[in-house]
Structure 1
Amino acid sequence: MAPWKRSAPGAAADAEVEGRYTLGGEKVLPVRTTLPKETRSLCPDCLKTVPAGLYEEKGRVMMRKRCPDHGTFTDLIFSDVEMYLRLEKWNFGDGEGFANPVDGMGKECPDRCGICGSHSTHTSLANIDLTGRCNLSCAVCFADANRNSFEPSFEQVAEMLRRLRAQRPAPAFAVQFTGGEPTLHPRFLEIVACARKMGFSHIQAATNGIRFADPDFARKARDAGLHYLYLQMDGTTDDVFLKLRGKALLDTKLRVIESARKAGLRIIFVPTIVKGVNEHQIGDLCRLAFDHLDVLSGISFQPMTFTGRYPESERGKLRFTLSDLSLEFSRQTGLTHPLEDWFPLNSAVPLVRYAGAVTGNVAVNHACHPHCGLMTLLFVGRNREAIPITRFLDLRGLLGEVERLTGSARTSRVKSLSKIRALQAFYRFFQEDRAPDGLTFLGFLKTLDGFAEKKYSWDGKYDGHTYKTFYVLGMHFMDAYNYDLERVSRCGVHYSAPDGRIYPFCTYNSGPVHRHRAENSIASS
């Protein structure tokens, strides 16, 4: 089904009845929050768009689709239907996309990428691949590193950065350098400095950490402007690294933590979870992170995606879903309830809308699909006791109230009154009798302020605060078997590619795999 084009400005009045429109003038089809339901997917063999059905079976959410040429495919989407439906209740609507999309008319999603006018979500995190080379050869690499000689020049990378800052109405503020191994680019440090000069406020490297084990290199990267290491960290024993990365790397990873500590870099652990290989170490990874809370900000779990031809029996044994993650984390750590303490990544939408209504500025919305990822936010005390925010804050109730206040904030002439009402809402939904010991409402607000400003240390500006925040999230990127175009059009993780376009993660790395065309155009030039 091709997207609708708005015929005239006056059609906006009909949008409340028929749905929202993007700033590119195309209708946003709303998220359907029921089961069973229909969506559009891809044939894993020929990658043609085919209809798909989502339905409940034995307490699980399944997808079934049929290609007229290659037959029927069935895959597991969520292992717990209650979690699937629960996440949908946190959906606060879509964003409006970009005012300057590329013209993708004449094609359908996901083949019209660039980003087109039907895409409704801003760039929450931008990726730029600096090289196709890597100093490892991992079987689970979705980027297919070392496949070709792709490596953009400094000038080409600078142009990819400029394109992200030129997005309207909300320029990208967070960029992640990826690869291959991004530190192998001969001008990596200059590229980081270039991103800082252009105004990116959040700069990180997705890395295996081998070069950052050198304290001098880590210091130079921090001096250039790097903030975070998105550190590939699959487990706490070398047998896991041998299976997934082909090399014993635990000692290297621990040296990276020490280098980051000395340099003033922050780390997010990024484990690729493969069922039957390392899901039993989810709790151990959390405990290792808690041993280094002065350096670690969080963990971003990423279940393995399937590329190539996987029989259904193999996928059935290896598929690890987001509800599996919340269950295993809760069981192995005892810190969370597998349902009640987790919420989707798009839950910040009401807060972003409210801030825009009060300030008059358009901020990057994070209106991804509620099934793209989930998270929990832990408040950690000096003795490493950790309490999920959902235990002492009615977060769902607060967000609903903030969403209601946004309308009045837009029309209010006295913005300070709107701020007072929002503060009152925070106080009303904060349950101090359930809060961690010593965490008052004022202390809670100060901790959130520190979280927003990325100040996680107990020292310095926030010295004396009892609690710090630590997030645990899961991002389940799609493959051709579980592909859902309803999710693709709302993706917030985007690639700025060397061909002059910007792509959602799950069209660049899976499905149509625009990566190959974009990289080959550079590699052959």
Structure 2
Amino acid sequence: MLCRARKKDVDYVFYELTRSICPECRRVIDAHILLRDNKVYMRKRCPEHGTFEGLVYSDAKAYMENARFNKPGTIPLAFSTEIQHGCPYDCGLCPDHQQHACLGIIEVNSACNMDCPLCFADAGAGFNLTLEEVEGILDHLVETEGNPEVVQFSGGEPSIHPQIIEMMWAAKKRNIRHVMLNTNGKRIADDDAFLQQLSELHPSVYFQFDGFEAETYRIIRGEPDILPQKLRALDRLAEIGANVVLVPAIDRYVNLHEVGAIVEFGMKHPAVRGINFQPAFQSGRHGEHDPMQRLTIPDILRALEEQTSGTLMVSDFVPVPCCFPTCNSVTYVLNDGDTVLPMTRILNVEDYLDYITNRAVPDLSEEVKLSLEGLWSSSAVPGSDKAAQQFALSCAACELPDGLDLGTFAQNIFMIMLQDFMDPWTFNQKNLMKCCKEILLPDGKQIPFCAYNNVGYREQARLQLQARERERNKARRAGIPYAPAPLTFTFEQKQQNDVIQVMPPGKGLAHEPRA
């Protein structure tokens, strides 16, 4: 009798085809998004370096359902580059990009007063932007955005830049609504004069804070005894009335068990108005890792529910619609000292931010919808007057509990956000094209955060900005004027199967002659 072999199903569902990059050479390659065991994976094959697979999202059901929160993009007033090679090599922003800059990030230097083992910016000696360069960046942002919402000054460690205060004042003078300082807190903890300058400027502070255990800070920051200095900095920020967002980098095997304690601490500290949890990602400087075990947003949400005993629940969090919905998730809670009440339990936020199934519903309040869009946005700044106003408008539709008035709710809001950045193992061109967090460079380029950190832009920008500084100093010593050449980004092109693949130089693949 003839025995026929039986066909077998694969152990995954092929969900979609996208484009990614090879983690070794960074060439653009096709990538498959696969669903397996209720998790989302990316699998891709480089012709020269083989097959790679990594975990993208640890809840496949949520990944698919979140698509309804994908808000139509808002186009900037002007684009800064043309389409030549295609995404991700025409940044930016080029006309193919599907979102404006909700958050502009200016890295004013590459140097830092720490040497963290985990650092996506690979901070170290390099460059300092001049005040004139930053003013040009800000002017171009106003040109493309009209009324920019948020500018974040970052680095390196921006607080050690000798002109950082003047730079932040320059943003204030251009009526940029929110000026943020991204800092590790060291200078704030120890420099009275700097603290006084911040008091006069009154920026929002994006504050590196990874937990409470010495081992956490040893592994992530290389400084196991830094916690007292961070606590002192936070207390000093409270003294000047600053609004602080704690920014913990969370690793599955290092400090995931501390997320509940971070929330409890943040809600009690007078300076802290929000937390932005960021799963550790493997761009820049990082240790050994397993891309199949990377931490994702659903992992942190489940840990928050467990560690807060249900005070916060997974269902309290809603994706941020302005970027791709699996990149961010956020909730707001009433925190008046006695009550912790997530807003999503008194107002069905999904009714307003579901852009697929609710597009044709005529009776949703447009005013409430616009207010919620402002809160569920990468440009939201907790503790600001605008956030309070948006809460007041949003909660006109709320059924507030007895004894809780609208003013109390609006003034005691606390934001908890989760932000997942892509690395070379999870880089997804579809997500990138909706990115609303842009690195702002001299000469006007605005480069999406995950393109800047993964494709080769950061390395090239750093070398050129460092060369600019040397040439500027040389010209100053010689007493001659200096006009810097524009920043340019070039990627070696290589013919592969009749498709032009564009690669950054020096990323692990030997250069070959152009086709």
Query: 1:120 & 1:447 partners in 2: Cα distance?
Result: 38
Query: 1:398 & 1:285 partners in 2: Cα distance?
Result: 30
1:372 deviation in Å? 1.1
SS of the residue 1:340 aligns to? helix
1:520 deviation in Å? 1.4
Which of 344, 365, 371 pairs up with 2:319? Answer: 344
Corresponding residue of 1:280: 257
Change (3 A) 1:206 1:420: closer
Asked if 2 retains the 8 angstrom alpha-carbon contact of 1:206 and 1:229, the reply is: yes
Over the aligned positions, Cα root-mean-square deviation in angstroms equals 2.9
Corresponding residue of 1:222: 199
- TM-score relative to the length of structure 1: 0.76
1:121 aligned to 2:64? no
Which of 277, 301, 304 pairs up with 1:326? Answer: 301
Corresponding residue of 1:392: 346
1:205 deviation in Å? 0.7
Deviations 1:126-182 (A, max 9, x none): 100111110000011100100x421111111111111111114x4422111000100
1:287 deviation in Å? 1.1
1:313 deviation in Å? 7.2
Asked if 2 retains the 8 angstrom alpha-carbon contact of 1:405 and 1:418, the reply is: no
1:495 aligned to 2:439? yes
- TM-score relative to the length of structure 2: 0.78
Query: 2:395 & 2:194 partners in 1: Cα distance?
Result: 45
Query: 2:366 & 2:154 partners in 1: Cα distance?
Result: 41
1:470 aligned to 2:414? yes
**Aligned residue runs from structure 1 range 182-331, under 5 A:** 182-213=158-189, 214-226=191-203, 228-247=204-223, 248-292=225-269, 294-307=270-283, 314-317=290-293, 319-331=294-306
Corresponding residue of 2:375: none
1:174 aligned to 2:131? no
1:135 aligned to 2:135? no
Name the stretch that deviates more: 294-303 or 374-383. Answer: 374-383
Change (3 A) 1:238 1:118: same
Change (3 A) 1:86 1:400: closer
SS of the residue 1:326 aligns to? helix
Which amino acid in 1 is paired with 2:243? Answer: R
Corresponding residue of 2:47: 68
1:83 deviation in Å? 2.2
Which amino acid in 2 is paired with 1:50? Answer: I
Deviations 1:251-294 (A, max 9, x none): 111111111111121111000111211111001111111221x3
1:57 deviation in Å? 0.6
Query: 1:183 & 1:377 partners in 2: Cα distance?
Result: 29
Which amino acid in 1 is paired with 2:460? Answer: R
Query: 1:262 & 1:103 partners in 2: Cα distance?
Result: 44
Unaligned runs of 5+ in 2: 1-12, 372-392, 469-515
Change (3 A) 1:223 1:35: farther
Corresponding residue of 1:161: 138
Deviations 1:452-506 (A, max 9, x none): xxxx4xxxxxxxxxxx111111111111100000110111111111353111100
Change (3 A) 1:45 1:310: farther
1:522 aligned to 2:465? yes
Which amino acid in 1 is paired with 2:117? Answer: A
Query: 1:153 & 1:500 partners in 2: Cα distance?
Result: 15
Q: Number of residues paired by the alignment?
A: 432
Asked if 2 retains the 8 angstrom alpha-carbon contact of 1:268 and 1:300, the reply is: yes
Query: 1:225 & 1:273 partners in 2: Cα distance?
Result: 28
Corresponding residue of 1:438: 403
1:382 aligned to 2:358? no
Query: 1:72 & 1:310 partners in 2: Cα distance?
Result: 22
Change (3 A) 1:313 1:98: closer
Aligned sequence identity (%): 31
Query: 2:118 & 2:63 partners in 1: Cα distance?
Result: 26
Change (3 A) 1:104 1:232: same
